Amino acid sequence: MKKILVILIVLKFAFVNGQIKDTPPLKLDNYILVKEGDTLTINLDEVSILPKHKFKSVVDMRYYHWFKTKVFKAYPYAKLASERLDTLNARISRMKTRRKKRRYVRIAQRYLEGEFTDQLKKMTKTEGRILIKLIHRQTGKTVFKNIKELRSGWKAFWYNTTANLFKLSLKSEYHPESINEDYLIEDVLQRAFIEEQLIRQKTKLDFDFPKIASIKKGEINVEEYKKMFAKQKKRRKKKKKKS
């Protein structure tokens, strides 16, 4: 119970209350792209240990920076959740009675809800999906597995079903070596760590990102997000025709 407390609080507000829609990256200057006359300049310093990015077009570049803002928003919550779990576990391990442990967990729950709630309500589906993956990155276990081990299989099923209503799965794992979205997340994180834009927190998973990045050769694939917004555009057109 002590381990799942933070995760349940995070997910409760990220998926049930936080239903802000994702919006496409229409304005270049919102995503670190700066207009200078008729040319476009990327305000992103490349680092020596990672290959230089290779974009197919300016549009792809724009989508990458749109995705970067999503990772930047989700990462601090996964990092904070991991830190709070470590603190909670350390304090509970020193308590001798179950009564004291339960009392402390209730106090911690009220504190954590106040700490997470307001911001997580503002998350979009993309940010919620990234958060699920980052919790796996930081804890070494999927959200579903944590719930199943510490509560029950039924409880895990219920939470997973709820998340699926919003096209999110609590069983999602983090595999930057094989899943394109996870590779993009890790690419954003590693460059942000090097440039000191985000505070590094060691992952509990085992992967060699510099090696993965060298295989990718800096190529950035954002097709899934372009398709996602294309589908949204079609749905909006259909609704307008019906009305």
The pLDDT value given to residue 180: 98
| Global confidence as pTM | 0.79
The pLDDT value given to residue 30: 53
| CA–CA separation, 68 and 31 (whole Å) | 8
The pLDDT value given to residue 227: 94
| CA–CA separation, 86 and 16 (whole Å) | 26
- Residues in the chain with pLDDT < 70? 1-19, 26-48, 108-120, 146-147, 149-152
The burial of 72, by beta-carbon neighbours within 10 Å (0-12 exposed, 13-18 middle, 19 or more buried), is given as middle
Return the structure tokens found at 140. 């070494």
User: Is 135 in contact with 143 (CB distance < 8 Å)?
Assistant: yes
